[in-house]
């Protein structure tokens, strides 16, 4: 182990495990991939679809015996998959049995800020928080995770995360949609162990935060997936704290990218690899020949960073992640969609906002302050956010409460609706977004780097959406706990 001391803005001491991880050809795929169960729900008398979630502690076998202490939702590790349709009203009763305060955030959801589950919607130990909203956005693979300010990395790493799938009856060409059969969630996370426990010693991790040397998918180490249909849709979620994956198949198998973070691509794009930074999602459709196997891998991502940065961020690591095993006879699937899917016109931007990722704990030179509003946006406004990474380190950028289009980048992976985007050192992205409503000057939304250690260190800002004619926003309370 090499210890690197980096002195940047402020004094930051980082230790770094110098060994590049390469598990290529070394993983024995001996466990069937766990499919997170679909969350049960009930339609309440007021017509609202109601889910009950409990954040709790437990133990899980993540490949180092049954005694590994983990956190989960309605279980010991990760949580069930929530599913709802466009136009539905949903309510989620979230009970916190963790023994410490947390929150639960609906990543990618277009909803009022009071229901968002960001750092202001603290759920005290033993309390239940019951946000309610109407699903009003395209079909998409969203997810949920805690967002308590300063402790997000820890709570997510211990295991609180799950998927929230949105369906749109009117939206787009049919895709494989039998959950767990030909529509498979893949929650990809890296872990590091200290004997049989998760290693949570931050001092052992790199400048980007926690980097593991083993991969779990849906909480399953060394997983394989039996495939029984001609086509399968894989919903990839990078739910890791810091690691960027560059997914491909070891056989070079091509796939069709059909959706990104916030919904379907206008036209599916044939690809052979896709890179996802923390928080990003991709929906891909693969057609494996009968009897064939292939391994989903991650090869070193293109971080657009220099050698030192790449080494310091785990960017040279390679992993074998999941083995797909096609049966000798495959059930027929519908033809792959060709598009086009029509998207709502975001309108013409009236405002260009400039943000600068200035350090691994600052945006625009300031660390997150829960009592400071950094941006004020008019409800219904279309804006361009021009986000520059001047920090010299790798980051990504996520905005709550909306989805955006990445302007001027022809890459298919960035051609669909997004809510999180990687920004290499020295690069600027231009994001076109519309704030569909929900004005509330008292409840801020967040924007931040989704490398969770950076977020916890203050690389986050707050914006409010205000109605027409609103004055300056009041100072928000430090937090409002239930």
Q: How far, in Å, CA of 279 to CA of 215, rounded?
A: 16
- Which of the listed partners (ligand C2O, Cu ion, none) does 145 bind, with a CB threshold of 5 to 8 Å by partner kind? ligand C2O
- Please say which residue, 172 or 279, places its beta carbon nearer to ligand C2O: 279
**Helix, strand, or coil here: 114?**
helix
For residue 367, the minimal CB distance to Cu ion (Å) is 13
The structure tokens listed for 337 are: 């969609």
- Please say which residue, 159 or 209, places its beta carbon nearer to Cu ion: 209
- Please say which residue, 120 or 233, places its beta carbon nearer to ligand C2O: 120
- Please say which residue, 120 or 395, places its beta carbon nearer to Cu ion: 395
- Please say which residue, 334 or 370, places its beta carbon nearer to ligand C2O: 370
- Which of the listed partners (ligand C2O, Cu ion, none) does 279 bind, with a CB threshold of 5 to 8 Å by partner kind? ligand C2O
Length of the chain: 482
For residue 117, the minimal CB distance to ligand C2O (Å) is 9
Nearest-10 Cα torsion for 16, 20, 24, 29: -20
| DSSP structural state of residue 454 | H
**Helix, strand, or coil here: 82?**
strand
* Cβ within 8 Å of residue 132, ≥6 positions away: 48, 89, 90, 91, 115
Q: Are 359 and 8 in contact (CB under 8 A)?
A: yes
Q: Are 435 and 380 in contact (CB under 8 A)?
A: yes
Q: How far is CA 9 from CA 48, 177, 327, 359, in A?
A: 49, 48, 55, 8
For residue 279, the minimal CB distance to ligand C2O (Å) is 5
Sheet-wide strand order for 460-466: 375-378, 460-466, 445-448, 395-399, 420-423
- Which of the listed partners (Cu ion, ligand C2O, none) does 222 bind, with a CB threshold of 5 to 8 Å by partner kind? none
For residue 98, the minimal CB distance to ligand C2O (Å) is 18
For residue 181, the minimal CB distance to ligand C2O (Å) is 28
**Helix, strand, or coil here: 202?**
helix
Q: Which long-range contacts (CB under 8 A, 24 or more apart) does 344-351 make?
A: 346/382, 346/405, 346/432, 346/433, 346/434, 347/382, 347/434, 348/382, 349/382, 349/383, 349/384, 349/432, 350/381, 350/382, 350/383, 351/377, 351/381, 351/383, 351/384
- Which of the listed partners (Cu ion, ligand C2O, none) does 454 bind, with a CB threshold of 5 to 8 Å by partner kind? Cu ion
Q: How far, in Å, CA of 261 to CA of 413, rounded?
A: 10
Can you give the binding site for Cu ion, defined by CB under 5 A?
A: 395, 449, 451, 454
For residue 454, the minimal CB distance to Cu ion (Å) is 3
Can you give the binding site for ligand C2O, defined by CB under 6 A?
A: 105, 107, 145, 147, 279, 398, 400, 446, 448, 450
Q: How far, in Å, CA of 62 to CA of 220, rounded?
A: 6
- Please say which residue, 312 or 445, places its beta carbon nearer to ligand C2O: 445
* Cβ within 8 Å of residue 345, ≥6 positions away: none
Q: Are 428 and 378 in contact (CB under 8 A)?
A: no
- Please say which residue, 164 or 224, places its beta carbon nearer to ligand C2O: 164
- Please say which residue, 62 or 368, places its beta carbon nearer to ligand C2O: 368
- Please say which residue, 49 or 107, places its beta carbon nearer to ligand C2O: 107
Q: How far, in Å, CA of 286 to CA of 293, rounded?
A: 12
- Please say which residue, 280 or 323, places its beta carbon nearer to ligand C2O: 280
Strands 31-32 and 223-229, bridge-based pairing: parallel
Q: Are 313 and 207 in contact (CB under 8 A)?
A: yes
Residue nearest to ligand C2O (CB): 107
**Helix, strand, or coil here: 203?**
helix
- Which of the listed partners (ligand C2O, Cu ion, none) does 449 bind, with a CB threshold of 5 to 8 Å by partner kind? Cu ion
- Please say which residue, 142 or 387, places its beta carbon nearer to Cu ion: 387
């Amino acid at each position: 182990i090499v210890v690197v001391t980096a002195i940047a803005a402020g004094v930051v001491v980082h230790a770094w495990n110098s060994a590049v991880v390469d598990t290529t050809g070394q993983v024995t795929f001996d466990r069937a991939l766990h499919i997170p169960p679909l969350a049960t729900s009930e339609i309440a008398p007021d017509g609202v679809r109601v889910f009950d979630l409990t954040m709790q502690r437990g133990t899980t076998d993540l490949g180092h015996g049954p005694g590994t202490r983990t956190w989960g939702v309605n279980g010991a590790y990760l949580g069930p998959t929530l599913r709802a349709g466009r136009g539905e009203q949903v309510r989620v009763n979230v009970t916190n049995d963790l023994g410490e305060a947390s929150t639960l955030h609906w990543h990618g959801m277009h909803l009022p800020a009071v229901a968002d589950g960001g750092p202001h919607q603290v759920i005290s130990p033993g309390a239940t928080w019951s946000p309610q909203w109407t699903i009003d956005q395209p079909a998409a693979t969203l997810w949920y995770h805690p967002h308590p300010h300063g402790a997000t990395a820890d709570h997510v790493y211990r295991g609180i995360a799950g998927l929230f799938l949105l369906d749109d009856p009117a939206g787009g060409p049919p895709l494989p949609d039998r959950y767990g059969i030909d529509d498979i969630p893949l929650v990809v996370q890296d872990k590091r162990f200290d004997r049989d426990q998760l290693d949570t010693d931050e001092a052992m991790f790199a400048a980007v935060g926690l980097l593991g040397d083993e991969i779990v998918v849906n909480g399953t180490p060394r997983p394989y997936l039996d495939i029984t249909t001609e086509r399968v849709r894989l919903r990839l979620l990078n739910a890791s704290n810091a690691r960027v994956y560059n997914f491909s198949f070891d056989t070079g198998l091509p796939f069709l990218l059909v959706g990104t973070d916030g919904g379907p691509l206008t036209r599916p794009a044939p690809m052979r690899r896709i890179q996802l930074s923390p928080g990003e999602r991709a929906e891909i459709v693969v057609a494996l020949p009968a009897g064939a196997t292939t391994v989903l891998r991650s090869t070193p991502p293109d971080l657009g960073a220099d050698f030192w940065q790449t080494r310091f961020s785990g960017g040279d690591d390679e992993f074998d992640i999941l083995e797909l095993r096609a049966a000798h006879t495959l059930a027929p699937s519908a033809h792959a969609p060709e598009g086009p899917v029509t998207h709502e016109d975001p309108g013409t931007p009236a405002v260009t906002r400039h943000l600068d990722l200035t350090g691994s704990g600052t945006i625009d030179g300031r660390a997150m302050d829960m009592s400071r509003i950094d941006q004020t946006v008019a409800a219904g406004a279309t804006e361009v956010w021009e986000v520059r990474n001047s920090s010299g380190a790798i980051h990504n950028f996520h905005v709550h409460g909306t989805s955006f289009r990445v302007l001027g980048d022809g890459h298919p992976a960035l051609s669909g609706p997004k809510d999180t985007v990687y920004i290499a050192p020295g690069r600027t992205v231009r994001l076109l977004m519309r704030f569909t409503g929900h004005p509330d000057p008292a409840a801020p939304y967040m924007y931040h780097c989704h490398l969770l250690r950076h977020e916890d260190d203050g690389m986050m800002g707050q914006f409010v959406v205000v109605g027409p004619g609103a004055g300056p926003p009041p100072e928000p309370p430090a937090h409002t706990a239930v």
